[in-house]
Every structure is written in structure tokens, then in C-alpha cells.
Amino acid sequence: MAEVTWGLTTSHVPSIGAAMDRDRTEDPYWKPLFDGYRPAREWMAEHTPDVIILIYNDHANAIPLAIVPTFAVGTAARFQVADEVWGTRPVTDVIGHPALAAHLVESLVDDEFDITVAHQLEVDHGLTVPLSVYCPTPGDAWPAPVIPIVVNVIQYPQPTAARCYALGKALGRAIRSYPEHLKVAVFGTGGMSHQLAGERAGLINEEFDRMFLAKIQDDPQSLADLSREEYVREAGSEGIEMIMWLIMRGAMDDEITRIAETYHVPASNTAAALALFENRA
Amino acid sequence: MTKPEIPGTYLFGIEDSRQGFALNSFCASLTSVDDRKRFLDDEAAYLGRYELTAEQRQAVLDRDWVTMLDLGGSIFYVYKLAMVDGKSMQYLGGVFTGMTTEEFQAALEAGGRHFG
Ligand SMILES: [Fe+2]
């Protein structure tokens, strides 16, 4: 039986990836953020999973305007890295896990989550930056195969926070019902507070972010109870990405242990955070 | 539930996407190296491939970022055009807030902008 062994929540800001790609992580601007990652990275390097399930959103790079899936699971054997105008990140392609991905789709649909199946998917910074946050020097291959779960957060109506949390719980059931013994890490990505456009561009709400970082561990239900309007008002029009952390949280046990955490403002226009949890009381 | 109105904030919705479909499709095309080059070679001719309204077309030619968003542009698509011009998201942030790029960056480095 497969099991979730740990969960990572992290921002996926493109400039965090660019700082690594261009060897800028020791610059004064970036050093505090990357120093903050170190304890989590050391722990994760000693706890390599068999599979990563990575929840993220596409940023107008691979999912066309024509059809906007609310939730999609990537079932391919390989996912190419998307060109995002500034060029393709110099990172290796992502290897999938088609057997577990197909099982997740079957289990989730049986559980009444009618998700989209992505047989082909290019992956943008939303997926590759969290992988680099986890493993900065992967060499020829990432440490584990990756199953992408793509969430629509850029077109209203986004799924509710409550639905994301419920999907996470169904995802946890789906993982535990897989017959092969696999250690699974779940990544919930995006956030924290930020707003790119409009007169409120540059919004940061540290108080909301700190509340969210605490409650994602011990009171996720209160975060699932917040409305979309509350997320956008408090965390900004792009801060609503944080609903994706609730999918990770739902897949884990009720009681989890915090291994590491860091919070830093700014990473370009965004409050950047990381929190790492082991799936045990 | 209808789309909430939050001052100073775009919440890109279904009606926005319908209105901005050609504009955003044009911006999406710029992720292709060949199309980027065709656009830069002759902007007006390239825009003719897309069914933009006259206002949208003019906003693109003028790089009127606020008008593009007001006419259904999504920030994630419009940003692709900004990147073709070598402009950053901090540059756009300055445009949206009436600041220079440097002032906008300094506001972020001082902990970001706070509301309410
Ligand atoms: Fe994002």
C-alpha cells in the first residue's frame, strides 16, 4: 500500500527559479530566502520519496484559453518544460508515474471528483520551481517521478478552498488504496500573499500569511472555510493560489509534524514561504 | 454566487475571458520563438491575424497596459507582451500604481504594500 510520508508547501515564484538558474542565490537580495530553505532541503535530501504528487497552477503557458479545467491530473510518462517567453528553464524534463496517476484518476472519479485527464502537458515554473526548491542540483534527473495536479486559480470561479481540502482528502484515500508499496511526497505550491495587477499591485499581507502558515498544520478546516472573496481581499488576486496548499494538507493525516518553515518578503512581487511536514503525530 | 467586486483588483472571470479572448490569444502566441520574431518584424500586420477590437489593437500598439486589462486582458497573458519588450513585472506594478519601477521595487523590499 502506498503512503504519504511528507508534505511540502512552497511558493513557486518564477524569479526564485531564475535566481538558481543564474547562480544568484548568494546575492544579498536572495540569500535570506535560500538560507531559509537549507534545513528543509537537508531533511528532504535524506527522505527521498518514490513518487512526488505536485499540485500547482499553469500560468497561461501550457493550458490554453479555450478550455479551462478546474482540476487535472497529468498521466503522461514525461512532461516537457514549457517556454515562457524568457526561454525554457535549463532543467531536466519531468518523468511521470503513469500507473499511479491512472489509479489516482480512477479513484478520484469513483470518489465523485470529476477531474480532467492530461495525457500531454508541458509544465511551467509553477511545477519546476518547487522541484528546484526541493532539489537545487538534480543532475540528469529529478530524485523521483512526478505526477502533476493542475488547478485553475487564474480564472474566476476558482474551486473553493473547501473543495480543495476535500479533494486532498480524496487524494489521500486514493494514494492509500494503491496496492504497490510506495512512499509519496505531496507538494502544495503557490502563494503567499501577492497581487500583480490593479491599483493594489504589490500587496503583501504578512499577518494573513503567518496565520495561514500556522493553521495549515493544526486548523486547516478554518482555512477551508474562507471564501474566495476573503482570499482575494486578504492575500491578493494571485494570493488565492494558497488554496492549493489545502489539497496537500487534505492528503495528510489529521496530526502532522512541522520539520521546517521559512517566510521572506519579497521574492519579486510576492511573499515567499516554505513549510515542510512529516506525516506523523 | 456572482463575481465579487474588490476595489483596485482584477478578478479575471468568464466574461473577461470572452471579451479578451483574441487579445489573450495574441499574447499567448508570443511564447513561440518564430511568432515573437514575426510580431517584432511588423506589429500591425501580425495583429491582423487576431480579431482584436479597434480599442484592443490600439492599446497593444500603444503598450497601454491598464487599458489592455480593462478590455479583458489577463495579467498572465499581457505579461508575455511585456516580456517581449524586456519589461518586468515590477515595471508593470509601477505602471498600475503610478510609481517608477524603482519605487515599486523599493515598496516591495520594504515589506510590500498594505491595505485595510
Ligand atoms: Fe503562481
Model confidence pLDDT, tens digit, residues A246-270: 999 999 999 999 999 999 999 999 9
CA A106 to chain centroid, in Å, comes to 22
Nearest CB to B17 within list A86, A155, A196: A155
Asked if pLDDT for residue A75 goes beyond 90, the answer is yes
Q: Is the distance from CB of B64 to CB of B58 less than 8 angstroms?
A: yes
Please give, rounded to a whole number of angstroms, the shortest distance from the CA of B31 to a CA of chain A. Answer: 5
Cα–Cα distance measured from residue B39 to residue B41, given in angstroms and rounded to the nearest whole number: 5
Q: How far apart are CA A259 and CA A39, in angstroms?
A: 8
CB spacing of A228 vs B8 below 8 angstroms: no
| CB A126, CB A190: distance < 8 Å | yes
Q: Is A32 on the interface with B (CB under 8 A)?
A: no
CA atoms within 13 A on the CB side of A118: 27
For chain B, 116 residues long, give each residue's pLDDT as a single digit of tens.
Answer: 689 999 999 999 999 999 999 999 999 999 888 999 999 999 999 999 999 999 999 999 999 999 999 999 999 999 999 999 999 999 999 999 999 999 999 999 999 999 97
Residue A60 C-alpha, separation from nearest chain B C-alpha, in angstroms: 6
Domains annotated on chain A, with CATH: 3-278 (3.40.830.10)
By C-alpha distance, which of B45, B44, B28 is closest to B84? Answer: B28
Answer whether A156 sits within 8 Å of B12, measured CB to CB.
yes
Q: How far is the CA of A181 from the centre of ligand 1 (A)?
A: 32
CA A206, CA A204: separation in Å to the nearest integer? 6
The shortest CB-CB distance from A197 to any of B7, B30, B75 is to B75
Count Cβ atoms below 10 Å from residue A90 Cβ, excluding itself.
10
Q: Which grid cell is B76? A: 498572465
A267 alpha carbon – ligand 1 mean position (Å)? 12
Q: What is the mean pLDDT of chain A?
A: 97
CA dihedral sign, ordered A269, A271, A276, A281: negative
Which alpha helices (DSSP H) does B20-88 contain, by range?
21-29, 33-41, 43-47, 54-62, 65-70, 75-84
> What separation in Å is there between the alpha carbon of B58 and the centre of ligand 1?
29
pLDDT computed for residue B31 by the predictor:
86
Looking at residue A105, its pLDDT comes to 98
Cβ–Cβ of B107/A202 closer than 8 Å? yes
Question: Best interface-test mutation with B: which of A85, A88, A205, A207 has the largest number of B CBs within 10 A?
Answer: A85
Q: Report if pTM > 0.90.
A: yes
Taking the mean position of all CA atoms in its chain, how far away is CA B100? 17
Q: Which residues of B touch A157 (CB under 8 A)?
A: 1, 3, 13
Closest-CA distance of chain B to residue A110, Å = 27
Cell numbers linked to B90: 515590477
Annotation marks residue A194 as catalytic: yes
Tally: H helices and E strands in chain A: 9, 10
The phi, psi pair for A95, rounded to 5°, reads: -90, 135
Query: What letters, b where the CB count within 10 A reaches 16 and e where it falls short, cover A206-233?
Result: eebbeebbeebbeebeebbebebeebbb
3-state secondary structure at position A147: strand
CA distance B21 to B15: 10
Q: Closest residue of B to A59, CA-based?
A: B76
Strand A71-74: give its sheet, edge to edge.
Answer: A116-118, A71-74, A146-151, A51-56, A183-189, A3-10, A270-278, A257-267
Beta strands A146-151; A3-10: pairing state: unpaired
CB contact under 8 A, A199 and B96: yes
C-alpha cell at A210: 503567518
**Over the stretch A25-74, which tens digit does the pLDDT of each residue have?**
999 999 999 999 999 999 999 999 999 999 999 999 999 899 999 999 99
Beta strands in chain A (DSSP E): 3-10, 51-56, 71-74, 78-79, 94-95, 116-118, 146-151, 183-189, 257-267, 270-278
Residue type for A72, please?
Answer: A
A-chain CB neighbours of B7 within 8 Å are 199-200
Our CA angle for A272, A277, A279, nearest 5°, is 155
Alpha carbon of B44 to ligand 1 centroid (Å): 31
Between the CA of B21 and the centroid of ligand 1 the distance, in Å, is 21
Query: pLDDT-derived band of residue A233, with 50, 70 and 90 as boundaries?
Result: very high
Residues B108, A86: C-beta atoms closer than 8 Å = no
Q: Express as a percent the part of chain A with pLDDT over 70.
A: 100
| Whether A92 contacts A138, CB under 8 Å | yes
- A83 pLDDT band, cuts 50/70/90, is confident
The whole-angstrom separation of Cα B20 and Cα A72 is 24
